[in-house]
Chains A and B, each alone.
Chain A
């Protein structure tokens, strides 16, 4: 199975066992570098796909929580290279498919060719790049696809119908439906169901909703209209407060 197919498959498997796929997000190396791998392993045991945030100095689409965790991770010495090295050395037993969430500049600085090869070796199945709109993405997309890795497209409530078709068909692995017009860390809007139905209706890939999901009822609400729920800021807040991420994630999807 190609890496991008592993993503699609993991989400569909969760759905076929009657569950909403859970996609937790953590900022790599936050709050501490020493616990990154153990934390990742614990989270991967609950989540169906895990999103690893590559910290960046200018996270313009993120709210306070992820800005804070990014800046602290950079101060801790975390870089894209460090994350890949950690996964190479200690991550071989993690079978849950991984996705990197990174702003563009760290990827540019690393170099696309080397990145695609290293990512494939480290078990990374997809990339989410929040400041790379479709019009600018061809070069990265082609380079990643050569290794079978997905470039996951984001859609938003403001995306017009024609563009929605374009983005959902250009995406790989799954489609990331941003639930709100805004940055990470807010709440869910009231007209969520219509929007997610609209995206799911045109998307050939499973749709995962992200931004504003923090409670079990959010996950169940999203799950009625989308294949998966992405949990970012709320999970980072749990880590910030010294809580147990796996316990929190299990509470989002009670049996």
Chain B
């Protein structure tokens, strides 16, 4: 593989990220990020970036965003102590409950923020892609809330395994377009949404759902999701009496993880661990462990870690959870791994399913299959590091996973 990383000043990069100086003017997190897009979209991206830079810091925009988070999304979401898991694992386990946010996952934070931005930018309609369907549902709901028509691109395979979310999108007034090209999952859905945007760059707002893609999306999505970590940090101080020793979040594109981690980056005492989908094995195509096993390259508009072969062809992935089933990852995660601030591990399909069952039985929380990967890795870590305070980002609820879960009946707990 010829794709090797350039040398980086790791300490300076981390300091710059903590200080809020990244991405830089070219949309880079060190070597990662950037904007690799067709020329047709350059003016649209320029408008988006200028608009986001103007409105995000604007007090009036922030006031309406915060009001929607409070009164419509239901924030702040709870921080729950998990007494029974704590006892079983020999740890002190705290759970940040994004499953309690409106529509059942953290995705709504970004969706309502970008929908408000779309209105400000004068968009006539919104398009979005979705993997697990959570971002599609969140976008449909947010568009209904701000009064814009919404069209969601979704891989045909994902439509089948997340059928309840397809019905929810339709009920919320969105149009759902099945994507039957490419791998028929999230990656193909993003490609198709990009093609649609290329066809109407003036009137369309593309509401991208994860901290991936061309600049400014990785930055924009992080800014809108950072509320997770900001709340969690304050709640830990108040409820737990101090910061955690370690925080876990699952990583597909990485929006919930960057939302939780970003406000904690400066707390050097907190170990941060992202958990990718280990699927069924270590071979190319058997997992979606982009950071754990990938190499640098350009996919869907940004330079990041991707799963590819020696010819630079992007490989298909496998995960039991649609939301983690992606061949790339957000560029800021690639940088945080490269500078050593966040470590990225994997949990297999089986470990995730087992963890899901345990969290249901012990804490009465049906967590999303994506999130279950974070629990699986946290449990492993707790066994090796007894007596620590653990924070887990519970990114979403598992109701949408019932069609998949029905193939794995509960084993039953003693």
Chain A residues in contact with chain B, CB under 8 A?
56-61, 63-64, 67, 71, 74, 79-81, 103-111, 114, 130-133, 135-136, 153-156, 158-160, 163, 167, 178, 181-183
Taking the closest CB of chain B, its distance from the CB of A82, in whole angstroms, is 9
A131 to B314, CA, bound (A): 15
Contacts of B191 in A (CB 8 A): 58-60
A60 to B313, CA, bound (A): 13
15 additional A-B residue pairs with CB within 8 Å, beyond A58-B187, A181-B200:
A60-B300, A61-B38, A61-B195, A67-B182, A71-B182, A79-B313, A105-B299, A108-B3, A109-B3, A114-B2, A133-B42, A136-B34, A136-B36, A181-B199, A183-B195
B182 touches A58 (CB 8 A): yes
Question: With A56-B313, A57-B313, A159-B43 as given contacts, are A105 and B195 in contact (CB-CB < 8 Å)?
Answer: no
3 interchain residue pairs of minimum CB distance: A109-B312, A111-B2, A106-B312
Across the interface, name the chain B residue whose C-beta is closest to A211.
B40
Number of interface residues of B (CB under 8 A): 38
B312 touches A133 (CB 8 A): no
B36 touches A133 (CB 8 A): yes
Centre residue among B187, B195, B200 by max chain A CB count within 10 A: B195
A131 touches B42 (CB 8 A): no
Question: With A108-B3, A160-B43, A183-B195 as given contacts, are A131 and B36 in contact (CB-CB < 8 Å)?
Answer: yes
Q: Does B79 contact A (CB under 8 A)?
A: no
Question: Could you show 17 A-B contacts with beta carbons less than 8 Å apart?
Answer: A57-B314, A58-B191, A58-B299, A60-B38, A60-B195, A61-B198, A64-B181, A79-B311, A80-B312, A104-B298, A105-B298, A105-B314, A110-B2, A130-B38, A136-B35, A159-B42, A159-B43
Centre residue among A71, A74, A79, A158 by max chain B CB count within 10 A: A158
Question: With A57-B182, A156-B39, A181-B40 as given contacts, are A106 and B313 in contact (CB-CB < 8 Å)?
Answer: yes
Across the interface, name the chain A residue whose C-beta is closest to B192.
A60
Centre residue among B35, B198, B297 by max chain A CB count within 10 A: B198
Taking the closest CB of chain A, its distance from the CB of B47, in whole angstroms, is 11
B201 touches A108 (CB 8 A): no
A132 to B34, CA, bound (A): 10
A104 touches B314 (CB 8 A): no
Contacts of B187 in A (CB 8 A): 58
Contacts of B315 in A (CB 8 A): 57
B311 touches A158 (CB 8 A): no
A183 to B35, CA, bound (A): 19
Q: Does B1 contact A (CB under 8 A)?
A: yes
Contacts of A111 in B (CB 8 A): 2
